[in-house]
Amino acid sequence: MKQIEQIIKTIDKELIEKNKKFISLGQANKILLENRVISKTDKLNQLLKKWLEDGKISNSSQTKEKPRQWRIFLSEEGHLNKTIYDKKKKKELLEKEKHSITCPYCQSKLTINKSDTNSLFLVCSICNNQFENYKIKRPRHKKEIRQRSVRSTDEFKISKNLKNWIFGALGLLVIYFIATDNSFGLKVKNSPWDNSVHQVESYLKRNLKDPNSFEALSWSKVKDKNNNNNGYRYKVFVKYRAKNSFGGYVVKTDLFYLDEKGNVVRVE
């Protein structure tokens, strides 16, 4: 019957959109009445219940426990429609996720305007903080950037004599730094090249959420607090930026305390 087919389709639609496994007889009557599939007279005459009892709606069953209640499930066609509906919803969700981003400061979910899709930095409309747009695809490694910028290795060939001169100059520089460095012989000290402290850098890369995102901005001079009774010998400040749990870049300044062997014993 045409009315039965309409009833099944209407109930299927309700189950799919509300993501329900079944609905009761009372819920079905209410939905069918709202959608004008049955009339008030049909409801009063318990038309749906009679059809359920007669087995005209096969995708239904009664509970074994008393009071026994009718439950109407998805039809075979409804299961196929649900698969299509779920795929469509998943696609819409992925598209929405593609144009949304979480503010690392206030954790608000924001929508990226089309004009800002390729912007390096975004401003949160809730807390007004600026943060990096981590949705932009970047080269995975610094090596890839270098490879793109170098035209050909043949253009950068250096003569043998020039190579020897460069290595000789580097050797003299190393000797000079060692001779003039007052911290030579200390376990913990600043690098003569970039002022970094390798023990602290190693510690951060072991403990950060995304070690590859670490970027040191500045280092203080290592202070040697020898012969103190506070459980440490060295201390050094470092200002750095790295990704947090939400994928946003944050800038932090930490004070590291290290023992005489170079182990980090405390971070403030």
Please write the tens of the pLDDT for every residue from 237-260.
999 999 998 888 999 999 999 998
Q: Which of 77 and 120 is assigned the larger pLDDT? A: 77
Residue 181 covered by a domain: no
Residue 87 covered by a domain: no
Residue 8 covered by a domain: yes
Give the DSSP H/E element, type plus range, for residue 180.
Answer: helix 160-180
pLDDT at residue 216 in the model: 93
70 and 7 within one domain: yes
Residue 122 covered by a domain: yes
If you count DSSP H runs as helices and E runs as strands, how many of each does the chain have, helices first? 8, 12
Give the end of a domain, one of 81, 114, 131.
81
Distance CA 69, CA 175 (A): 91
Residue 172 covered by a domain: no
Give the DSSP H/E element, type plus range, for residue 48.
Answer: helix 47-53
Average pLDDT over residues 188-207: 92
Reported as a pLDDT band with limits 50, 70 and 90, residue 168 is confident
68 and 6 within one domain: yes
Q: Which of 6, 250, 258, 252 is nearest to 131 (CA)?
A: 250
120 and 69 within one domain: no
108 and 76 within one domain: no
Whether the per-residue pLDDT at 80 is higher than 80: the answer is yes
pLDDT at residue 146 in the model: 53
**Cβ proximity of 74 and 59 under 8 Å:** yes
Residue 93 covered by a domain: no
Residues 6+ apart with CB under 8 A from 134: 101, 243, 247, 248, 249
Peptide bond preceding 67: is omega within 30 degrees of 0, i.e. cis? yes
Distance CA 208, CA 191 (A): 22
Average pLDDT over residues 133-150: 58
The model's pTM: 0.40
Residue 179 covered by a domain: no
- Please give the structure tokens belonging to residue 258: 């290290």
How do residues 89-131 score in pLDDT, each as one tens digit?
Answer: 888 877 777 678 888 888 888 888 777 777 888 888 888 888 8
Distance CA 254, CA 252 (A): 6
Give the DSSP H/E element, type plus range, for residue 236.
Answer: strand 234-243
Number of domains in the chain: 3
pLDDT at residue 112 in the model: 80
- 244 is in which domain, residue-wise? 198-267
36 and 69 within one domain: yes
